Structure 1
Amino acid sequence: MKNPWEEIELSDYENHMKLDSVKQLQFLNVMMKNQFNSYPIKTVMILGIAGGNGLEHINTDKIQKVYGIDINYRYLEKCIERYGNLNGVLECICADLTNKNIMLPHVDMVIANLLVEYIGYQCFQNVIMQIRPLYVSCIIQINTNDSFVSDSPYIHVFDGLNEVHHQMQEDELTVIMKNMKYYLMSRKEQILSNGKILVQLDYRQ
């Protein structure tokens, strides 16, 4: 059975995320700039890279390699097309992070924005234990109502995500990271106009 993310068009996802009533694409872009520039890293892996939102902030004088991971190969094709300036730096890998036998390269930092919600704590733990980065930066969404998808004209595009969505708890994620010897260094939050909250949690080994 296909993962529902393989069925969602990138244009629908991005148009939903950038609506004035949602604005997650814009806020994530700004937050990713901070993620790329806060720590002394040369290699970074972005889990669930989609169309590459935020990649324009990569400073190639500092970051020598960027791995973009996604389950939807069409997202990765668009990502490569958009960021031709990162040729030789950006390498996209089509992979299912829920696969226990997944093999991924080592990097200095893993970025997982609105990603853990769709693979669950255990799969995320497996991925981190295999990559063993020095830094892990996660952005999770705290929902203030019953729906994890913001209301928009595109809302029914995301109906299938109910099958794979896991409700996130900030404290639980931090405990799981601590069990892997990753300790919380920094916490930032961004309150959205629809009441949802984006929380950035940075951990160091």
Structure 2
Amino acid sequence: MKNPWLQIPFPDYENHMREVGQAQVLRRLLGDCLTRYKPGSLALIGCATGNGLEEVDPAITGIVHAVDINPAFLEQLNQRFGQSLPGLNIHCLDMETDLLPFSDAELIFCGLVLEYVKPEVLIPKLLQALSPDGTLVIVIQQTRKSSFVTPTRYNSLALLSGFAGEVSVDEMAALLGANGLCLCEMDEVRLNDSKTFLTFHCSKEKAHQ
């Protein structure tokens, strides 16, 4: 079956994410992480057309790895950030089957990806891509009494409804521990009455102290 992310036009994705308020929150969360950790290198997993790359200061974060499955999304990203981020590396790959082609990321930000890629498959790959003293930040969505993908006028996003799967917090914590990661912090952002973002800050350095 063709991955539904390959069938979504980038304007539909961007407009949907803004309309439901998720684009703004993801950008803020990434910006907060960049300010807090000041990484020399960043990997943005599921970057789509940018998803907050406006927050990157290339004087601090000289290397950026942008990873997504959709080549049309990445083409837009390159047009927007190729000049302003001279250390930008774009990777078009399927995170379910492909390995990440880098191992030096001081910050990996993985927002709303594990709902579409099996956590037990992706987390070990993220661990391999993380620098020894790096930080892995994962954002997942928790839903109460509503559909996982909020209906909007952008009908192509409905393709994701049967593809997305909500991630269990307990299973996530167990999986992080099983992969030698320490859950240093977990934050909650309430989007509305039915949806919440949970942000996990993880470190493999602290896991071995």
TM-score when normalising by structure 2: 0.89
Moved more, 72-81 or 54-63: 54-63
Q: How does 1:120-139 map to 2 (within 5 A)?
A: 120-133=118-131, 134-139=134-139
Q: Deviations over 1:166-205 (max 9, x none)?
A: 2211221121111111111122211113520011111011
For structure 1, the residue ranges without an aligned partner over 5 or more in a row are none
Q: Which amino acid aligns with 1:33?
A: G
2:177 aligned partner = 178
- Equivalent residues of 2:182, 2:203 under 8 A apart: yes
Equivalenced residues, count: 201
Q: CA deviation at 1:130?
A: 2.8
Tell me the distance in 2 between the aligned counterparts of 1:28 and 1:171.
Answer: 22
- Equivalent residues of 1:111, 1:137 under 8 A apart: yes
SS in 2 for 1:69: strand
Q: CA deviation at 1:40?
A: 4.3
For structure 2, the residue ranges without an aligned partner over 5 or more in a row are 205-209
Residue in structure 1 matching 2:99, options 97, 102, 108 = 102
| Aligned sequence identity (%) | 26
Tell me the distance in 1 between the aligned counterparts of 2:88 and 2:70.
Answer: 17
Q: CA deviation at 1:126?
A: 3.3
Q: How does 1:137-148 map to 2 (within 5 A)?
A: 137-148=137-148
RMSD (Å), alpha carbons = 1.6
Tell me the distance in 2 between the aligned counterparts of 1:59 and 1:87.
Answer: 8
> Do structure 1's residue 84 and structure 2's residue 82 form an aligned pair?
yes
Residue in structure 2 matching 1:53, options 51, 54, 60 = 51
TM-score when normalising by structure 1: 0.91
Q: CA deviation at 1:159?
A: 2.9
Q: Which amino acid aligns with 2:136?
A: V
> Do structure 1's residue 73 and structure 2's residue 71 form an aligned pair?
yes
- Equivalent residues of 1:119, 1:164 under 8 A apart: no
2:191 aligned partner = 192
